[in-house]
Amino acid sequence: MEYYSKQISDLIGELSSLPGVGSKSAQRIAFHILNMPKDRASSLASAISNARENVKFCKTCFTLTDQDICPICSSNKRNKKVIMVVEDTRDLVAYEKVGKYEGVYHVLNGTMNPMQGIGPNDIRLKELFERLEGDVDEVIIATNSTTEGEATAMYITKLIKPTGIKVSRIASGVPVGGDLECIDEVTLLRALEGRKEL
């Protein structure tokens, strides 16, 4: 038996499919939305659809952005000769919040994970190596310290080494298994400054 009318159930259903939202939270959020002024609810709905419609990958670094080339790649204040490799846009944002990094990024949008059948061709590695054909001095590998993050870092290092480009790995101040975005800014800065050449 349905306790809620169809449109309320649909809203709760959609919300409960989001990560970290259980059925209780979904009901709470649904009722919060139903009690909002109509214009606030519409701007929430259009923020979701606009973001989904217009956000794409930067053509250079593959971060998520609403422009063809993201603001970091198009800035003339950033050092294009230093590229930091991160797993996703959230990691990029974590480093940007530290505010001390002046290079650019390359966002892999994943890590290699043989158990799940994710190989080098399933993440943006080919695009990274295309960028390295340009004028690049250093690649800083800042994948997470998970098994997959470490395996990806090793794979990239092996391929870059012969090119003579300097490769470094962020320091192990970042806890093993740690998700970069959950780590505080001081730890991230230390990890960046204490990076070791491989």
Q: Which residues bind Zn ion (CB under 5 A)?
A: 58, 60-61, 70, 73
Of 60 and 143, CB closest to Zn ion: 60
Of 122 and 127, CB closest to Zn ion: 127
CA dist 53 → 45, 126, 192 (Å): 12, 26, 34
The amino acid that residue 103 corresponds to is G
CA dist 197 → 93, 108, 161 (Å): 24, 20, 11
The least distance separating Zn ion from the CB of residue 118, rounded to whole angstroms, comes to: 22
The least distance separating Zn ion from the CB of residue 126, rounded to whole angstroms, comes to: 16
Of 23 and 67, CB closest to Zn ion: 67
Going by their DSSP bridges, the two strands 64-65 and 56-57 should be labelled as antiparallel
Of 68 and 185, CB closest to Zn ion: 68
Of 70 and 128, CB closest to Zn ion: 70
The least distance separating Zn ion from the CB of residue 131, rounded to whole angstroms, comes to: 11
The least distance separating Zn ion from the CB of residue 191, rounded to whole angstroms, comes to: 22
- The DSSP output letter for 44 is H
CA dist 6 → 1, 21, 24, 32, 161 (Å): 12, 20, 17, 17, 59
CA dist 150 → 34, 48, 89, 142, 156 (Å): 45, 34, 18, 9, 10
The least distance separating Zn ion from the CB of residue 66, rounded to whole angstroms, comes to: 12
